[in-house]
Every structure is written in structure tokens, then in C-alpha cells.
Structure 1
Amino acid sequence: MSDVSPKKFDLPHLGDELLWKIFVKSDPKTVGRCRSLNRVWSYRLSTPLFVKQNFRENKDKDGSVIIGIGYPPTDENSQWFVRADVETGRQFHFGVPMQINHFGYYSLVGDDHGNLCIRLSYGGLNSRIIIWNPLTRDIRYISDEASKHCCHAVSLYAFGYLQDQTEYRIVHVYKRHYAEKNMKWTLFNSIQRDWVHSGTFQSNVHKLGPKPIVQEGVVSWIGWEGVNNSDPAAIITFSLQQRKFSEDIVPEDVKASYHALIQINDNVGFMSYKNLCFTRQVSVWGLKRSANDKHIWEKMVKVTGLGMPYSPTLFVDKDVITLMEARTGFGTSNDGERTDILLSRLKYMHQIRKHLVHRTWNEAVSVKSVSLHSNGLYMV
């Protein structure tokens, strides 16, 4: 050890304004640790203004993909999740705080501002909704409205925060038969902590979904009609703030053989995929809302030669995150079945594909949901 005594000197004083700027740009995990220093810092780093600005600065950093995996044939119900970094593919532990048994399932309703809305069931009608922040581990329990309408033809949820606020809402839409014109809805308010509003709206579409896109407090679904409900007839939107539905017709020239709503560059996008002889083509239109709540369709992306799998697809910056599933059996009843799931990042501008995650299950499983996640400090 050195015989020289350490020198003492005072640290320079950092004003509150400078400290604010430093912490606003710090990653949410670091901010969460600094909250435990004392009560003053805990308060300053927990105000709604700070939480909003910190998320805005960090939402495009350290993004991850959350993949729900489950058994066929249901469309949305998962038994477990896989979480991986969108840049490196590094996988994270993703321990949902509520464990289910082998009769139950998870259903990822939505992911917004760092919080997850998950519907879970322990089997039968015993179900509930949780709002969960994976970073802070905070959790809130909410009654499950869908359990009252489990036999309805349409029964679905959407979750999102109001624009530039720390208040979130959950809407549940349902109707008993596809042929009915009226859809009913109920709305959960995080301030009042209850399902406080309800109503009906008329629509010509038979079915909504399956996955909504929530952007700036507005929920968007594809409305389907026609044979087997396979024709994307309209874009149905619901304002979580105004509690108002609207319906906008999908132009005929954008329709193809496969359609989905996606989020691209902080906008809602309508993706279509079709085969042209021996050529494959993916097109994405941005849906900008006009003053009269109608959509302005603007073509944003057109990629030829790309085979888009019939599973959820995500756009990150100028790249495409794709999931591919492959199932193999050995032809006899005594042989097992294997499922491979490959998560890739496609830089389609340069025709480069980078594999992120390759997982194998020695049974028949499938991808149920895919969601982009960014850590945040929003309260549940």
C-alpha cells in the first residue's frame, strides 16, 4: 500500500438543471438505481415530466423483441416468452411475475412505454389482466372483462397510453355474432382504476384484428369481411382519449394475398404481401390521419424478392425483423415432432440477413405474438 495520504478536495457543484439533463439521457436502469440514493432524488427522478422525457430519449436504444410461444391451434395464447436484443440477439431472462399451470396461458395484449399488458388464465374461466413493468417489477391487477364474453365471436383488447401523458387505458371490444352490426366496448381508466366507460358503435365489418397498433393514444385494427372474413375492408380506429370510433375504407389497389398492420417510423403502416409469378413483393403504406379522421395512404416501402413469412413482422429503423417457423416429423406415430424458430434481422436495402435467435423445441409449437419493447419508468 502507498504511504502517501490521499488528498481531499471538493467535487464541483452541479446545478439542478445540468443534473436533470444528464439523468434524462441516462438509461432507465441507471436512473432506477439512482432513485435509491435519497428521498430528494427519488422524487426528482419520478416526476411525470422526467419519466416522459427519459423515455423519449431512450425509446430507440437497447430495444428488444418479446416473442410469445404456445401450442396450436389458438391464435394468441402463449405458454412462455422469449426476449432478445434486436441488435445482437442476446437473450434476457423474462420472468412473468404470475406463473400459470399447464391448463393456463398468457396473452400479450400490448406493450407501450415500457409497460406490458398481459391477460393470463390459470385454466377455465379463472383469468385476470396484469399491467407489468419488467424493469421496475411493478405490477397492477385488473379484472378480466373478456371472461364475461368468452363465447362471443369478437372479444379482444387493446392497451395504450394517452398522447404525451402518463395515463393509460384499456379498451375491450366484443360482439356475440359476426353478422351483428353493433359492436360493444368497455374502457379501463388507470386514474380511476376501473372499467368506467362503455358504449356501442356500428360497423359494416364482421371481424376485427387480430393485433392492434396503438400510436399516440389511437388504436387501429383491420376490419375484415367477405368469405371466411379474409377481405380487409376497412381500418377501424378508436381514440382512447375521446372514446370515439371511426371507420375508413381500405383502397382496392393496396390489397393483396396477406395483410397486417405494423408500426414503422412512429407511424401506423399497412403491409401487404403477394406473389407475382415467381417474384415476391412486400409493400407498406403509411396511414396518416387527416383533420376529418380519414387516412391519407402514402407508400413508404416496396421490396421485391423478399419472402415475408406468414407470421408477425416488425420494422426497426430501416431493417425488418422476421420470424420463421419450421416443423419436422419423422413419419411415424412413435416419432416426435420438432419445431425450429429463427429470428432474423434483414437489412433489405443491402440484401443482408443477420440471424439473431435460433431456438428448437422437441414438440409442435408456434409463434403467437411478437412485440418490440423499450425499457421505461412509467408507473403501472
Structure 2
Amino acid sequence: MKRTKMNGLLSGVALACALGTPALADIKIAHVYGKTGPFEAYAKQSHEGLKLGIEYATGGTMEVNGEKIVIIEKDTQLKPDIGKALLEEAYGDDEVDLAVGPVSSGVALAMLPVAEEYEKILIVEPAVADSITGENWNRYIFRTGRNSSQDAVANAVALGGENVHVATLAQDYAFGRDGVSAFREALETTGAEIAHEEYVPTDTTDFTAAAERIFTAMKDLEGEKKLFIIWAGGGNPMGKINAMDPSRFGIEIATGGNILAALTAYKELPGMEGATYYYYEIPQNPVNDWLVKEHFARFDSPPDFFTAGGMSAGIAVVEALKKAGSTDTEDLITAMEGMEWETPKGKMMFRPEDHQALQSMYHFKTVVKDGVDYGVPELVRELTIKDMPIPIRNQ
């Protein structure tokens, strides 16, 4: 098991945040995530959710098996090399019992080998790329966040059908390419087909050239035509492409769910359908009721997309520690494989084969409501674990 001393360049990156009194803490958890950078909003939600999840699952004691919990924050700055180094620091110098994070799929892929080298668990939340629990997976990796295939299967159910032609626009990195690959595969069972794929840099703000290529590829096709956008962060491709009037070619824009701030663009597209991971008004269960009530009380706002994900990870940590009865990695792996637990989305289960959390997704239709400054994803149908045959990709 490797023990590496970090140099001084990263000394200012790690921030400690204790739940309880640090001097009494027996259980240390590293949250290694992109606090700064383009996904800062995602990171903030994820961290608040993680703390809320631990609070909820411990009944407010912040203790498991009589031992205090401490969260140590580390900022990857959305850079794979920093994420890798900080996870080494967490497992080595900080001697954390397990880690949670990161936000970015590219950072997550750099971190996976570190968990294997140190023989410590990394719970991936919310990075999405299939390869995390697919070709790059190892037995120390568990993921509470949804993966690209869960996004893809859910959106294929919502959008697919005979004589449906789909173009895709995605960012040119693991999240985007894994997402399109999984979506293409999922669409095959619906009768729909991919007509064109477009990949652009992650920081793209001008989508004119990409949109024109999509329009050229789609304009003469017969049948339903949809442009499915897979995007994380800023840039607003949906609003900018919609302003170019794709409807003149019979093309409808479609996409999955997103954080509340991003849903402002959805208001321009009433009736748009897709599938989402979470919207606070959709799940009906006691955990989500608690989350919504507490979040409004503390922050005067509803919980968002990644708040629910962070809470699911926090609850998973506590339930695993309770079930294992210790912080020993092998005991935790045994406890977590096949483990079921309740989350704001209802039941999740770690699939034993690849440690991916199986979970519900939600087919939605966008509606515009008075007094709401974003397009509301109104539930069409809950897609349960049984409704979605998610491929195992780590074989």
C-alpha cells in the first residue's frame, strides 16, 4: 500500500470541515471534488447533500457505531492531475477511511487507480461516464450517481420510436462520448436511429457551425427529427441553437434533466420531453420529504439535482459503516455489494458485479408555470430499476 508525501504546491488546496468535534473523530471521509471551476454549482450542491445525508442517516448525531464522523474537503479544481494527487494525500497523509467524489468524469478516471493502489473505497458521486464502472473500474469503486447508460436508457424510452431520427450534440470528453455511445446503443431497441453525431470542446459558447452541420444532416430526412443535447456546465447550447430555429427543418430539441439554473433555457421549449435524474417535486417518499423541508428551512430554496445525489452518497456511507460494523475496507466491500438503502429518489442498490447504484429515473415533459422562472420537468412516468436493463460494462 503506497504512502506518498505531497509537496507544498497542494498545501493550500485541502480544506477541513468537521461534522462533530475533530479531536474526537474516529471516522474520516475525504470529499474530493471540484469546488472551483466551471462545475462549482454542482460541487456546492453535492457537498451540502453529502452533509445532509450523513445528518439524516445518523439521526443528527453525526456518529456511526459510537464514532464521530469528520469530512475533509479537497478541491480538485476540475483538474485530473490535482484530483489524483489529492486522493493520494487523503488516503496517505490524512489516512481517511474512504473518499467521495468527484464532480468531473475526467477527474474521476484519473482517481480510480489511486483507490486500487491504496486499497481504499472511493464512492463516485456525481461523475457520470460509463467507463468509471466499466472498462476502468476496480473493486474499490462504488458509484451512487447515475451512469451514462442510465441516462441513455431513460432518454431512449422517452424519445425513441419507429421512424425517429436523432442527432446528438455533446462535449468532447468522457462524459459526452460515453453518453452518446450509451444513448446510441439504447436507441437501437426502440426503432430510432442516430443520424449524426457532433462533438465540441467543453468550453464552447458559439454553436453556429455545429448546428449548421446538424441541420444539413437532418433536413431531408422523413419522419420525426430530434436533436438530443448532452451537456454539463455553461454555454447554453439549447437556447442558442433554438434561436437558430431548428423547427424550420422539422427538428425538435431534446435533452435530459439538469440543475434549476439550467432549466431557465427549458422555459423556451414547452412540451420538450426527456428523462431526468431528479427534480425535487417528483419523488414521493419520506427521505425526499425530509430533504425538501430541511433545504427550504435552511437555504430558502429547493434542493437541486446534485443535492439529492450528495445526500444519497452520504446515506450510503452511513448505512455501509453500520452494516460493516467497522471501517475495514474488506468489511465495507462485503457490506456494500448488493446493499439496498433509501434515498431522496427511493430505493437504490449497489449492483454486486460493478458496484453501480441501480435507481429510478424520470421521464418528463417540460411545462411553463406562472411564477416559475424556469421550465418545470413534469413527471410523465417513473422508470424504476426493473424498467431499465442497464448493461454491465466492466467484464
TM-score normalised to structure 2 length: 0.25
More helix by share: 2
Greater length-normalized contact order (CA 8 Å, ≥ 6 residues apart): 2
TM-score normalised to structure 1 length: 0.26
Bigger radius of gyration, 1 or 2?
1
